[in-house]
């Protein structure tokens, strides 16, 4: 089979590989919809998680089940399934402690395009199929299902981890697909005022649609100065960091009031250390607490997010700005994600059989 791979740091291309085999608990899936992620860009062009050789990329997919292992009970060949970006080992110690995305090693639930081939191939392997695959609802398109696997799950986690009080204020720094999902999550969780920090007009429109009450441009001066001024010198109850380089943490801490959570969902791809402003952080004593997390995976999480879509709480289709047909187009989609033209939020590739 063929797949689109990271050949080495900074280089991508097509590779030929053996079709993967299913162990007793696993499934083999063929993609129906796949999307490139900014994380693929960090992985390939920043070498963020180290050298990889001919590793098939991609971790966002909806697919059709081609094969199941002998012990799989609930998933059948021919089922259309939502495949979470993160597929934990559900019996692991970390999962039992409540941190399923960190199974084995930190970030160990992230298997696709990290420690095994990802979803940008003709077939891909899914571990623990009964616990990691959710049936795609009949009313949901594969494109929309694909937006759930990582963008919604990560963005909503950003809002959940931020512990936003009912009616509280939140600032979302970075409004790509992840930050926009965080805005939608913050609204669903009862935020009163939601600051969206970003500039791409296409993203600003969706931010308003998803519940942003205030738009701040980080190109018009310091983000934190603008947020502190708009909140009468106080800062916000919660900050969600969903874009930018290391210095965005300075804005995040300086935008947060004393007694707040700074919820990071950004992937910092470079450098050894990250900056925290000493005075803004109250000399380390201002109850400005950090939360971090890797996208939650697994069947139940996907089913719950799918319910939010089915019952009209969010329309993930608004995140998709570029649509392609055929596995061959994944290269074009990934390069778009790398180059980020101003009219882009998220590209998607659909495959018909």
Q: Which residues bind ligand NAD (CB under 6 A)?
A: 37-39, 42, 150, 154, 173-174, 176-179, 197-198, 200, 218, 223, 242-244, 248, 265-267, 294-295, 340
Q: Where are the alpha helices (DSSP H) in 27-102?
A: 38-45, 93-96
Task: Give the separation between CA 55 and CA 45, rounded to whole angstroms.
Answer: 14
Q: Where does residue 58 fall: left (phi above 0), alpha (psi -120 to 50 degrees), or beta otherwise?
A: left
Paired residues of 134 in beta bridges: 82
DSSP-derived secondary structure letter, 319? G
Of 159, 51, 153, 141, the closest CA to residue 100 belongs to: 153
Q: Which of 127, 134, 135 is nearest to 110 (CA)?
A: 127
Q: Are 190 and 164 in contact (CB under 8 A)?
A: yes
Least distance in Å: CB of 305 to ligand NAD? 14
Give which of Zn ion, ligand NAD, none residue 32 binds (C-beta under 5 to 8 Å, depending on kind).
none
Q: How far is the CB of 212 from ligand NAD (least distance, A)?
A: 13
| Closest to 142 (Cα-Cα) out of 32, 40, 42, 298 | 32
39 binds Zn ion (CB under 5 A): yes
Q: How far is the CB of 177 from Zn ion (least distance, A)?
A: 9
* Residue 56 binds: one of Zn ion, ligand NAD, none (C-beta under 5 to 8 A by kind): none
The residue among 68 and 252 lying less far from ligand NAD, judged by its C-beta, is 252
Choose from ligand NAD, Zn ion, none: what does 265 bind? Cβ within 5-8 Å by kind: ligand NAD
- Closest contact distance (angstroms) between CB of 335 and ligand NAD is 14
Distances in Å between the Cα of 49 and the Cα atoms of 55, 192, 270, 290, 337 are: 13, 37, 10, 22, 18
Q: Which does 179 bind (CB under 5 to 8 A by kind): Zn ion, ligand NAD, none?
A: ligand NAD
How much of the chain is in helix, strand and coil states, percent to nearest 5?
30, 25, 45
Smallest CA-to-CA distance from 125 within 89, 163, 87 is with: 87
Quick one: what does residue 176 bind among Zn ion, ligand NAD, none, with the CB cut-off 5 to 8 Å set by partner type?
ligand NAD
For position 37 contacting Zn ion by CB under 5 A, the verdict is yes
Regarding 242 and contact with Zn ion (CB under 5 A), the answer is no
Q: Tell me which DSSP letter residue 116 carries.
A: B
Q: Work out what residue 75 binds among ligand NAD, Zn ion, none; the CB cut-off runs from 5 to 8 Å by kind.
A: none
| Residue 78 C-beta: closest distance to ligand NAD, Å | 30
CB nearer to ligand NAD: give 38 or 231. 38
Which position has the token pair 């590989």?
17
With CB under 5 to 8 Å by kind, the binding choice for 178 among ligand NAD, Zn ion, none is ligand NAD
Nearer to Zn ion, 250 or 334 (CB): 334
The answer to whether residue 79 forms part of the interface with Zn ion (CB under 5 A) is no
Which option in Zn ion, ligand NAD, none does residue 297 bind, with CB closer than 5 to 8 A by kind?
A: none
Shortest Å, Cβ 225 to ligand NAD: 13
CB of 150 to Zn ion, least distance (A): 4
* Spatial distance between the Cα atoms of 250 and 55, rounded to a whole number of angstroms: 35
**Shortest reach from residue 258's CB to Zn ion, in Å:** 33
Q: Does 319 bind Zn ion (CB under 5 A)?
A: no
| Residue 114 engages Zn ion in binding (rule: CB under 5 A) | no
- CB neighbours (10 Å) of residue 29? 28
Task: Kindly state whether residue 113 participates in binding Zn ion, applying the rule CB under 5 A.
Answer: no
Find the DSSP H helices in the chain.
38-45, 93-96, 129-132, 142-147, 153-161, 177-188, 201-210, 223-230, 248-255, 299-310, 330-339
Q: Which residues bind Zn ion (CB under 5 A)?
A: 37, 39, 150
């Amino acid at each position: 089979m063929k797949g689109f791979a990271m050949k080495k740091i900074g280089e991508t291309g097509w590779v030929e590989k053996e079709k993967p085999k299913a162990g007793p608990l696993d499934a083999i899936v063929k993609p129906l919809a796949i999307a490139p992620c900014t994380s693929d860009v960090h992985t390939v062009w920043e070498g963020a998680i180290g050298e990889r050789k001919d590793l098939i990329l991609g971790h966002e997919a909806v697919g059709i089940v081609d094969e199941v292992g002998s012990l799989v009970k609930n998933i059948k060949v021919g089922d259309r399934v939502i495949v979470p970006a993160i597929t934990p080992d559900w019996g692991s110690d970390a999962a039992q402690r409540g941190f399923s995305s960190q199974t084995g090693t930190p970030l160990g639930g992230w298997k696709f395009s990290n420690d095994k081939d990802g979803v940008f191939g003709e077939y891909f392997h899914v571990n623990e199929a009964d616990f990691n695959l959710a049936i795609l609802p009949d009313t949901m398109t594969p494109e929309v299902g694909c937006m759930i696997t990582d963008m919604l799950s990560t963005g909503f986690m950003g809002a959940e981890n931020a512990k936003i009080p009912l009616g509280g204020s939140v600032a979302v720094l970075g409004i790509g697909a992840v930050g926009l999902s965080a805005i939608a999550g913050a609204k669903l969780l009862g935020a009163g005022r939601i600051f969206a920090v970003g500039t791409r007009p296409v993203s600003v429109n969706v931010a308003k649609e998803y519940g942003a009450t205030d738009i701040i441009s980080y190109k018009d001066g310091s983000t934190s100065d603008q947020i502190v001024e708009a909140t009468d010198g106080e800062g916000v109850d919660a900050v969600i960091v969903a874009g930018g380089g290391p210095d965005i943490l300075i804005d995040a801490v300086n935008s947060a009031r004393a007694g707040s959570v700074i919820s990071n969902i950004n992937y910092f791809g470079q450098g050894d250390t990250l900056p925290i402003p000493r005075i803004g952080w109250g000399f380390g004593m201002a109850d400005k607490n950090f939360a971090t997390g890797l996208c939650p995976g697994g069947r139940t999480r996907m089913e719950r997010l799918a319910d939010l879509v089915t019952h009209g709480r969010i329309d993930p289709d608004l995140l998709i700005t570029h649509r392609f047909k055929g596995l061959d187009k994944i290269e074009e989609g990934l390069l778009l994600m790398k180059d980020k033209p101003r009219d882009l939020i998220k590209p998607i590739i659909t495959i018909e059989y």
